[in-house]
Amino acid sequence: MSSRTIHVILQNGQWAVKKDDSAKGRTYSTQKEAIGAARKIVRGMSAGQIVVHGRDGSIRIRENRGLPAIQKSPVKSTLGRKAIERAVSTVILERLLGV
């Protein structure tokens, strides 16, 4: 099965467009050209994603085509752990005492 993820990454001063499972890839002089080429590749696939890396290797852009949206991780409560523990303790006591 071929990879469905196309990476745009800086390699030897050129922007390379590579599939996950391939050591080979085509190179471009600008990141903009490489992103355009990656988008063409993904358009030809039934589903896939493009991951654009910055100069430092961190992920700058992630685009999906034909794949379900990636959900954000749950946000932590701003109440704080002790406040939550107190609230839970209060509810437990109320239920145990039948109040």
Left, alpha or beta for 51 (phi > 0: left; psi -120 to 50: alpha)? beta
Q: How many residues does the chain have?
A: 99
Ordered by start, the domain boundaries in the chain are: 5-65
**Averaged in consecutive runs of 10 residues, what is the pLDDT profile of the chain (99 residues)?**
77 89 84 94 88 88 79 65 78 73
pLDDT of residue 84: 77
SS3 at position 66:
coil
For residue 80 the two structure tokens come to: 């704080």
Q: What is d(CA 91, CA 86) in angstroms, rounded to the nearest whole number? A: 9
